[in-house]
Amino acid sequence: MHQTFDAALGINLLHANQKGADHNRAHFDEWGITCFNIMSSPGAGKTVLLERSLAVLTDDLKIAVIEGDMTTELDADRLRQYGVPVIAINTGRSCHLDSKMVAGGIHQLEHQYNPVDFDLVLVENVGNLVCPAEFEVGEHIKVALLSVTEGEDKPLKYPVMFQEADCLLITKIDLAPYLDIDINRIAANVRQMNPHVTIIAVSAKTGEGLEHWFNWVKSQVLNQRSSATATEMLPA
């Protein structure tokens, strides 16, 4: 006789990933590191932004980068020139980083360096507007990039990432004069679903707006430090 049973679970479909993200965040908190998850569609300007940021922010902050790419180390090599540890993670066919992949990066950082020396870990996610938004990696801050060439309507069409973002960078604004695009319209579209998001318009090419971004990053690291309560112990 077969008998059917029913287990009411009510657990998150991404529970396994969530557990990994909590593990990663506990490491960051223990080491006093702030972690940013930087997300956008392919080519919105994440790597160039990181290059510009490393050139300036390393004066004030000790930074490491975890660089997700489907196949190459091209981006990682570009960033290594700034003298910071860059841990490259090839995701293979996966279109986003998950918490397990980032855990691999964190453990490399732990073994090759003294993690308590670092202030900030920047995770460059795989270029994709869709699922990176659902897969937490243990970050404290989510940053979304949208370049002016992508169009005003993208936040409306790919809402989840923009709804979850703490900061939206509107990138490549040096190109705006050549396009039929209204930056205020992009901002308004994001604010429709995320009224508290910090929005900064930047051009990595001309440098416009970057000073705001740098200041915002520094303020977030300070905030994170002061709000970090007693260090959490990791489960054995």
Residues within the interface to another protein (CB under 8 A): 1-17, 93-96, 98, 128, 130-131, 133-135, 156-157, 159-160, 163, 191-195
Residues contacting Zn ion: total by CB under 5 A: 6
Give residue 116's region: left, alpha or beta (phi > 0; psi -120 to 50): alpha
Bridge partners, 123 (sequence order): 37, 66
Find the radius of gyration of the CA atoms of the chain. Answer: 19
174 binds, among Zn ion, another protein, ligand GTP, none (CB under 5 to 8 A by kind): ligand GTP
**CB 91 → ligand GTP: shortest distance, Å?**
12
Question: Cα angle at 48 between 18 and 52, to 5 degrees?
Answer: 100
**CB 103 → another protein: shortest distance, Å?**
14
Burial class, 92, CB count within 10 angstroms (exposed 0-12 / middle 13-18 / buried 19+): exposed
**CB 28 → another protein: shortest distance, Å?**
22
Q: Is 67 in the site for Zn ion (CB under 5 A)?
A: no
Residues forming contacts to ligand GTP in the complex (CB under 6 A) are 40, 42-48, 75, 127, 171-172, 174-175, 203-205
Given the structure tokens 């540890």, which residue do they identify? 85
Q: Is the CB of 79 or the CB of 221 nearer to Zn ion?
A: 79
Q: Is the CB of 68 or the CB of 115 nearer to ligand GTP?
A: 68
Cα gap 28→200, rounded to integer Å: 26
Residue nearest to ligand GTP (CB): 127
> 229, 233, 177, 166: which is closest to 208 by C-alpha?
177
Q: Is the CB of 98 or the CB of 124 nearer to another protein?
A: 98
125 binds, among Zn ion, another protein, ligand GTP, none (CB under 5 to 8 A by kind): none
**CB 22 → another protein: shortest distance, Å?**
14
Cα gap 133→131, rounded to integer Å: 5
Q: Which residues from 113-152 bind Zn ion, rule CB under 5 A? A: 131
Cα gap 185→167, rounded to integer Å: 16
Q: Is the CB of 19 or the CB of 225 nearer to another protein?
A: 19
Q: Is 46 in the site for Zn ion (CB under 5 A)?
A: yes
Q: Is the CB of 32 or the CB of 43 nearer to Zn ion?
A: 43
Q: Which residues, 6 or more positions from 33, have their beta carbon under 8 angstroms from its beta carbon? A: 27, 115, 118, 119, 120, 121
Residues lying near Zn ion in the complex (CB under 5 A)? 46-47, 75, 95-96, 131
